[in-house]
Structure 1
Amino acid sequence: MSELVFYSPVKSSQLTKLPVFTCPVPAGFPSPADGQADEMLDLHQYLFKQPASTFMARVTGESMLGAGIHPDDFIVVNRAITPLDGHVVVAVVDGEHTVKRLRQEPGRTWLEAANDLDPPLELHEDCDLRIWGVVTHVIHPLFKKRAGAAWPGRSPRPTA
């Protein structure tokens, strides 16, 4: 099962509001943009709609790659949302934490990975299952920086 590292939400006073361009950014052909920020985005308000019931965790393992959740990603988890069939959840099964998709049918419950290498985890009556919350957001970089490496498109920093 995936191991999680838990983090408490940051107080909103510790966050900075970021500029957001309200013009749409198509994922297809380029379109001209005016380059002006039209509003400010408060990340705390966006990620933590219910701060008292929301926490963050860092994911390890590759069982949820097909759902866009990668090793070292941060997930935002809301404990106030009622988990339903198809939700990605943080679950504790027999004392072990995991991130999986909750699947439910009448008389049957299981946790499903989003990686063909990991079989579904069928939950029987003698299983101790606790759903800690529903994953609402995933935060991950599109590339990882290696020590001493330049970011793509940039020259390495000169050394003195």
Structure 2
Amino acid sequence: MDPSIDINEYLVKNPPATFFIRVRGHSMVNAGIYDNDILVVDRSVKPKNKSIVVCILNGDFAVKRLSIKGKDIKLISENSNYPNISISSLDDFEVWGVVTYNIHQHV
């Protein structure tokens, strides 16, 4: 065990592009992301297929798994109680950042 770990140095690779976001909701529990967890989000990381991302969809923030198949983009919920979302050309959609770490309280 290393008692001298600097948590910021460990979690934050690009400080100007890194943000901490608190999760609200249960749509990603099967990915280990729970209500009230804190996500470390890096806006400089390029999203790829299967990345967990923070996105803005029609003015609302969401945390989902990104599915890219050709030109088909879907936001995948990691909880069967929540629907997946297909992105259409009519949607106002932006990947805001890529989740790099999840902080979950156990006590």
Distance in 2 separating the partners of 1:72 and 1:141: 9
Structure-1-length-normalised TM-score = 0.65
Q: What count of residue pairs does the alignment treat as equivalent?
A: 107
Does residue 131 of the first structure (1) align with residue 84 of the second (2)?
A: no
Structure-2-length-normalised TM-score = 0.96
Distance in 2 separating the partners of 1:130 and 1:99: 12
- Please tell me the root mean square deviation across aligned C-alpha atoms, in Å: 1.0
Matches within 5 A, 1:34-113: 37=2, 40-113=4-77
Distance in 2 separating the partners of 1:107 and 1:130: 15
Distance in 1 separating the partners of 2:6 and 2:71: 43
Unpaired runs of 5+ residues, structure 2, are none
- Which structure dedicates a bigger proportion of its chain to strand? 2
Secondary structure of the corresponding residue to residue 4 of structure 2: strand
Distance in 1 separating the partners of 2:59 and 2:35: 21
Runs (4 or more) in structure 1 with deviation over 4 Å come to none
* Overall identity of the aligned pairs, in %: 36
Q: Which has the higher contact order (CA 8 A, sep 6+)?
A: 2
Unpaired runs of 5+ residues, structure 1, are 1-20, 22-36, 144-160
